[in-house]
Amino acid sequence: MNRIDSLFQDLRSGGASGGGKALMPYITAGDPSVEATGRMLVAAQDAGASICELGIPFSDPVADGPVIEASMTYALEHGVTVGGVFDMVARLRPSLSIGLVAMVSYSIVHRIGLMKFISDAKDAGFDGFIFPDLALEESGQAREESAKAGLILSMLIAPTTPDDRAEQIARACTGFVYVVSRAGITGERAELPPELPARLKRLRSVTDLPMTVGFGISTAEHVRQVVAVADAAIVGSGMMRRVAEVRSQGEDQTVKMVGDYTRELAGGLVSA
């Protein structure tokens, strides 16, 4: 069984902490360095993360707001490469029990070649992918090849996605369904949209996959609100904004911050 499927199955059966719900922090690979990224993954795991989204930097990211875009720019300017990220994950994977999902533009996948990218990602230790710019109509081969490799592939469902199309995307996902909480780009928000529970209920009627929610989540209270109606909360901009604020203090301090912030967010799972 794929590690993502196993993790959610374990959570649903009560075999893990967090009240049966998951915290999924996002980390940009290479910010502040690839080595530090590996240490940040360990810190997030030790602090209560179940799955980490590892963003592979791209010069023209889709849907990402200024915080994550700046993080990717920093990583690219400091020499991050796809191969370097894969090598780091391969070295680290034996010490990690969390799920690892690559958030990556399909432009990168296409340039490398779908089959090679999937094979290399699997060999490195990734459990699946999110391709934010891959349309449902063009995703058939990627979904098929990912499934053959035993990896999951999730796609984004936005608030503006028509109901019938949202249901088609949900049925096409594997591992989990990525539900975008609000329209627009990534970024921290003061509160979550009131219509979110109804959207999740509608999607649950067409798939048994876990529902994960991202965009705008940055506090333990946000996490608590999300996991009251969903299976996992995704935190991206909140994490990378804090990385940007402390990276000048050195990698040790950055890694410590990731652990502290993840632990703070995980408090929302306990109180859910």
- Domain of residue 128 covers 3-270
pLDDT score of 183 more than 60: no
Cβ count near 167 (within 10 Å): 17
Cβ count near 195 (within 10 Å): 11
| Alpha-carbon separation of residue 115 from 50, 83, 85, 122, 142 (angstroms) | 27, 15, 18, 11, 9
Residue 64 annotated among the catalytic residues of the structure: yes
Closest CA to 186 of 131, 228, 241, 136: 241
Dihedral over Cα of 43, 212, 86, 249: its sign:
negative
Residue 167 annotated among the catalytic residues of the structure: no
Provide the whole-model pTM.
0.93
- Indicate the range of 26-30, 140-144, 155-159 predicted with least confidence: 155-159
Assess contact for 179 and 211: CB atoms under 8 A. yes
User: pLDDT above 90 covers what percent of the chain?
Assistant: 85
Instruction: Quickly state the pLDDT bin for 187 (edges 50, 70, 90).
Output: very low
* Catalytic option among 31, 64, 69, 231: 64
Domain count, the chain: 1
Cβ count near 59 (within 10 Å): 11
Q: What is the pLDDT of residue 32?
A: 98
pLDDT score of 64 more than 70: no
Cα 177 from Cα 186, distance rounded (Å) = 17
In terms of Cβ atoms closer than 10 Å to its own Cβ (0-12, 13-18, 19+), residue 210 is: buried
**CATH code for position 101:** 3.20.20.70
Cβ count near 45 (within 10 Å): 20
* Catalytic option among 5, 53, 69, 231: 53
Name the β-bridge partners of 99: 51
pLDDT score of 16 more than 90: no
Instruction: Quickly state the pLDDT bin for 61 (edges 50, 70, 90).
Output: low
Mean pLDDT, rounded, for 18-36: 93
Q: What is the mean pLDDT of the chain?
A: 92
